[in-house]
């Protein structure tokens, strides 16, 4: 297989899958899958045309490669995914992680047919559909049970990604679960992690260009026998690969930042499951919290 020419690499981020480079994420999957010649051809095509892999349907990819749709679907399945859509979600997240915010803005383009607000809403609808079809339900159930069973759970994130962790920890705490959130990094995350013991749980949240201390913290905790959960945007990412239960969701937006809509919706699902798992104890805790709201005159 011939290596892609630099002139054909969009935004300098295409992935080489030829025999001279075995360090990239797609190349590793291709090697392990032992693809047919058609599959190898498709892998090479996607490496030099990442935008089509990100936005194209299975039928569009098949047409461009002059092969049938079933071949495209079997390619994704051979790499370990349920189908093209799940592969696409993970490919998109990994591809975007190699771009700078200015690159993302350039790739997004301008001149939308609809207003920016309408475009953002439609993109999030697309992300939600992607999560609905590609989220690993078994991993999500395992994550919910891990949080429910853990004596103590620490959730870590940073920047705008913290919004997802804040929703999880605030509402889980409201139900009585022993969970805290830390977003400051450095000595703060070290202090928070020092409390964790085998049997406890860590929830690590990061997307796109991953926050290093979140990835390293997850690796450390897993090595210490602490159950680890990740909410991220690609199964190819170091964060997803370094935890027990990776939850992968699409995060693409219409601008330079990542959208937290699908990730937050998945967290709402986890919280609903935590309510079910908690049963009567959660119901009693919520009732007590409601009484305290009134006692402390919190609400208008």
Least confident of 4-18, 32-46, 76-90: 4-18
Q: How confident is the model at residue 93 (pLDDT cuts 50, 70, 90)?
A: confident
Cα–Cα distance, 266 to 161 (Å, whole number): 14
* pLDDT tens sequence across 114-146: 788 999 999 999 899 989 988 999 999 999 999
What tokens were used for 70?
């079933």
Q: What is the mean pLDDT of residues 269-297?
A: 94
> What domains appear along the chain, each with residue ranges and CATH number?
6-99 (1.10.10.10), 134-295 (3.40.50.10490)
Which strand (E) or helix (H) includes residue 205?
strand 201-205
- Reply yes or no on whether the pLDDT at 95 is more than 60: yes
Which strand (E) or helix (H) includes residue 201?
strand 201-205
Q: What is the mean pLDDT of residues 21-32?
A: 65
- Reply yes or no on whether the pLDDT at 226 is more than 90: yes
Q: Higher pLDDT residue, 137 or 31?
A: 137
Which strand (E) or helix (H) includes residue 231?
strand 227-232
Q: How confident is the model at residue 70 (pLDDT cuts 50, 70, 90)?
A: very high
Query: What average pLDDT is seen over the chain?
Result: 85
| CB of 93 closer than 8 Å to CB of 251 | yes
**Phi and psi angles of residue 211, each rounded to the nearest 5 degrees, phi first:** -75, 125
- Reply yes or no on whether the pLDDT at 113 is more than 80: no
Q: How confident is the model at residue 5 (pLDDT cuts 50, 70, 90)?
A: very low
Half-sphere exposure of 62 (CA within 13 A, CB side): 14
Least confident of 81-85, 92-96, 152-156, 293-297: 92-96
* pLDDT tens sequence across 154-210: 999 999 999 999 999 999 999 999 999 999 988 999 999 999 999 999 999 999 888
pTM of the model: 0.75
Q: What is the pLDDT of residue 255?
A: 86
Q: What is the pLDDT of residue 29?
A: 78
Percent share of the chain, pLDDT over 90 = 53
Q: Which residues contact 283 (CB under 8 A, 6 or more apart)?
A: none
CA 299 to chain centre: 35
Maximal C-alpha separation, the chain:
71
Q: List, as one string, the DSSP characters of 16-68.
A: --STT---SHHHHHHHHHT--HHHHHHHHHHHH-HHHHHH--HHHHHHHHTS-
């Amino acid at each position: 297989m011939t290596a892609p020419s630099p002139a054909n690499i969009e935004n300098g981020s295409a992935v080489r899958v030829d025999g001279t480079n075995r360090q990239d994420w797609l190349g590793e999957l291709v090697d392990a899958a032992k693809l047919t010649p058609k599959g190898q051809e498709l892998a090479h095509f996607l490496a030099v045309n990442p935008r089509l892999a990100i936005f194209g349907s299975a039928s569009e990819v098949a047409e461009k490669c002059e092969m049938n749709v079933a071949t495209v679907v079997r390619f994704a399945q051979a790499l370990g995914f349920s189908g093209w859509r799940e592969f696409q979600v993970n490919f998109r997240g990994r591809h975007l992680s190699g771009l700078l915010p200015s690159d993302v803005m350039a790739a997004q383009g301008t001149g939308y047919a609809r207003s920016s607000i309408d475009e953002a809403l439609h993109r999030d609808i697309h992300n939600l559909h992607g999560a609905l079809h590609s989220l690993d339900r078994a991993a999500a159930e395992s994550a919910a049970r891990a949080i429910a069973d853990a004596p103590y759970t620490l959730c870590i994130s940073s920047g705008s990604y913290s919004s997802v962790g804040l929703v999880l920890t605030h509402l889980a705490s409201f139900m009585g679960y022993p969970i805290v959130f830390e977003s400051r990094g450095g000595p703060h995350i070290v202090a928070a992690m020092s409390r964790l013991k085998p049997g406890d749980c860590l929830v690590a949240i990061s997307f796109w260009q991953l926050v290093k201390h979140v990835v390293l913290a997850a690796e450390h905790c897993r090595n210490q026998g602490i159950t680890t959960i990740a909410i991220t945007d690609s199964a190819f990412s170091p964060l997803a690969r370094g935890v027990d239960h990776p939850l992968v969701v699409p995060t693409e937006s219409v601008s330079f930042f990542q959208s937290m809509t699908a990730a937050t919706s998945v967290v709402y699902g986890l919280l609903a499951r935590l309510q079910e798992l908690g049963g009567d104890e959660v119901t009693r805790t919520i009732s007590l919290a409601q009484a305290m709201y009134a006692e402390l005159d919190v609400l208008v």
